[in-house]
Amino acid sequence: MQTRITQDTVYACAPRIVKCLTALSRPATDSAVTQSLTDLVRLRVSQLNGCAFCLHMHAAELRQHGESQERLDMLQAWREVPYFTDKEKAALRWAETLTRLGSGVSDDDYHHVSSFFDEQSVIDLTTVILEINSWNRLSIGFNFIPALTEKR
């Protein structure tokens, strides 16, 4: 695989992309959407979308912020393991629902996430999901290739 358009070219031609998408990921100051939760959601959405560039970046960020490798390894199976809090599970469920819109968003999906997050935090979480889905589409569309930091 080869990069179709480089990140530098995309950002030079459309600097508004970085500005606008980055702004989406800034929660309100009193939001229940923490940086750790934001990063988990970004990684899970990137798994769903198959975005290698974002998978690489967000897994590395989570490890840098102290996330355990075991939880990262189990993120794809978050429903089956006891490693995630109920609040994290609610956020991950909401992220999956909004990423896989094929079947719509049920009242049950909304009520579930709102039982853990107030309105402002649901909006904040939703904007993080919008942001990472947009980044995934840019990265996949232009074949952004992650730079490996470790050699085999």
In a domain, 137, yes or no: yes
In a domain, 89, yes or no: yes
In a domain, 148, yes or no: no
**Residue 18: is its pLDDT beyond 70?**
yes
Q: What is the 3-state secondary structure (H, E, C) of the chain?
A: CCCCCCHHHHHHHCHHHHHHHHHHCCCCCCCCCCHHHHHHHHHHHHHHHCCHHHHHHHHHHHHHCCCCHHHHHHHHHCCCCCCCCHHHHHHHHHHHHHHCHHHCCCHHHHHHHHCCCCHHHHHHHHHHHHHHHHHHHHHHHCCCCCCCCCCC
* Angle value at C-alpha 76, between 75 and 77, nearest 5 degrees: 90
Report pLDDT for 1. 73
In a domain, 16, yes or no: yes
Q: CATH code at 57?
A: 1.20.1290.10
**Residue 6: is its pLDDT beyond 90?**
no
Q: Comparing 105 with 148, which gets the higher pLDDT?
A: 105
Average confidence (pLDDT) over 42-51: 98
Yes or no: say if 117 and 125 are a contact pair by the CB < 8 Å rule. Answer: yes
In a domain, 73, yes or no: yes
Residue-wise pLDDT for 62-83, tens only, equals 999 999 999 999 999 999 999 9
In a domain, 2, yes or no: no
In a domain, 151, yes or no: no
Report pLDDT for 151. 61
Q: Comparing 26 with 65, which gets the higher pLDDT?
A: 65
Cα 9 from chain centroid (whole Å) = 23
Query: How many separate domains does the chain show?
Result: 1
Residue 30 domain boundaries: 7-141
Average confidence (pLDDT) over 47-72: 96
Percent of the chain with pLDDT over 90: 76
Residue-wise pLDDT for 93-142, tens only, equals 999 999 998 878 999 999 999 999 999 999 999 999 999 999 999 999 99
Name residues whose C-beta falls within 8 Å of residue 128's C-beta, 6 or more positions apart in sequence.
24, 25, 27, 33, 38, 41, 42
Instruction: Determine the Cα–Cα distance for residues 33 and 57; give it in Å rounded to an integer.
Output: 20
